[in-house]
Structure 1
Amino acid sequence: MNNRILVVEDDVAIGNLIKMTLNTKQYEYEIALDGKMALQKAMSMQPELIILDLGLPDMDGVDVIRKVRSWSQTPIIVVSARGEERDKINALDAGADDYVTKPFSVDELLARIRVVFRRTLSDRQSASEDPMFVNGDLRIDYLGNTVFVRGNEVHLTPNEYKLLVVLSKHIGKVLTHNFLLKEVWHSALLSDVPSLRVFMATLRKKIEENPAKPKYIQTHIRVGYRMLRYDIE
């Protein structure tokens, strides 16, 4: 397996746990102990994934995310002891793809890594902008602006459709309320979040077999939403 991973972690014990986890799946990796080293390695090794702690000795991890995002779209999974919602939102809004709170299980981290690499592979395969998105029983015809579930066309409002398209184009990634509001409504007002929740509820009623137990759109409470890839590993 040739997936190159940059691990940014100054805690030796946590770093060893992550290294052991990556070794079990034969991932290639390098370690950076602070933000400056992380930025240097991110440029030199061109990793396919960055696993990043926020509490670094020389700079905040969110600043590392912003600097990386100024020149690269390399997926970033934050692994941090900061479990507050505001910390998660700040990291995700800065450009992180996912957020794992310490302490974490090895299986959880590996699952998050698999999700990122599946999305990366899907992005490469659709680099030519495939006009058709397929995820389980859900199908979106981008050219025809139509949506089908289990073979039946589903009629969405313009905002519901735009919301679904944004989620589909970032499948596997947690999208914050703020990101969705900017992408769909060109708004960044937190006062608009209730409207977003209403549109999400009506969208789920139309595409989910059981809206109370959604399989496509996952809620991250007070943070945002993620479209899950519905396929067989």
Structure 2
Amino acid sequence: MPRVLIIEDDRAVRDGLRLALRRQGHEVTAAATGEDGLDQLRAFRPDVVILDLMLPGMPGLDVCRRIRAHDQVPIVMATARGDDTDIVVGLEAGADDYVVKPVKGRVLDARIRAVLRRAGGPPDDHAAPRPEHHGDLVIDRAGLTVAVQGRQVALGPSELRLLLTLSASPGQVFSRQQLLEAVWEHSYHGDARLVDACVKRLRSKIGESSERPRYVHTVRGFGYRFGVR
């Protein structure tokens, strides 16, 4: 039974989501503030966090960054606005997915189960028998680990799955839509923000810049490809 932590200050929304997710078979706990949410994170050890961006006291973005500083638990952020800036900033802060409120319980359940599938394994069923060496980057598909210059890199579920998808076919150009469907398992037609924000986080963690990337290269007007430069 997936364990879900909801961090939401609106009591009606919080109680509604808690009830809906329990009906979908989740074990749910909830917090009304970011500070309480961080305490619940340590005590409850959820499988996924539903995080409202508009929190009193400690803002949702700060909560997201605090979680990402020491934990790779999947985060689905909830926003009352579909504002591009809010969404992009939230994704760049470390969120794995987002929903715009109000959201139906079944839709949120589908997002939760998708992000948990991403956290649980690579995008295909074929585990590499040996770690792959791409210059200084080492990818172990069987162990789901990544290292750069011998140092283990902690990647979030979406970042890891994105890297596994791209590196499985070096040189192949993937459109943003192809990556949305392969990594996030949803159509999200035309919504490239998830991909671009995830690429930015991935590049930062494996130590490359957007201006001169060594591994994940932008194909302007189309998408991304993997290859050692």
**Smaller-chain TM-score bracket:** 0.5 to 0.7
Q: CA deviation at 1:93?
A: 0.3
State the TM-score, normalized to the length of structure 2: 0.63
Instruction: Supply the distance in 2 between the matched residues of 1:12 and 1:75 (Cα, whole angstroms).
Output: 23
Greater gyration radius: 1
Root-mean-square deviation over aligned CA pairs: 3.5
Q: Calculate percent identity across the aligned residue pairs.
A: 32
More helix by share: 1
Q: CA deviation at 1:180?
A: 2.1
Equivalent positions of 1:6-155 (< 5 A) are 6-122=5-121, 129-130=141-142, 147=169
8 A contact 2:47–2:74 mirrored in 1: yes
Quick one: structure 1 residues 44 and 176, their matched pair in 2 at CA, closer, same or farther if it must change by over 3 Å? same
Q: CA deviation at 1:185?
A: 10
Instruction: Supply the distance in 2 between the matched residues of 1:97 and 1:45 (Cα, whole angstroms).
Output: 20
State the TM-score, normalized to the length of structure 1: 0.62
Length, aligned pairs only = 171
Q: For structure 1, which runs of at least 5 residues remain unmatched after alignment?
A: 132-141, 148-155, 190-194, 204-233
8 A contact 1:178–1:188 mirrored in 2: no
- Is 1:187 matched up with 2:209? yes
Tell me the equivalent position of 2:184.
172
Q: For structure 2, which runs of at least 5 residues remain unmatched after alignment?
A: 128-138, 144-163, 186-192, 212-217
Q: CA deviation at 1:83?
A: 1.7
Q: CA deviation at 1:171?
A: 2.1
Instruction: Supply the distance in 1 between the matched residues of 2:46 and 2:90 (Cα, whole angstroms).
Output: 19
Quick one: structure 1 residues 197 and 109, their matched pair in 2 at CA, closer, same or farther if it must change by over 3 Å? farther
Q: CA deviation at 1:19?
A: 1.0
Instruction: Tell me which amino acid in the other structure corresponds to 1:62.
Output: L
Instruction: Encode CA deviations 1:42-75: one digit per residue, 9 max, x unaligned.
Output: 1122111000111111111000000000000000
- Is 1:200 matched up with 2:199? no
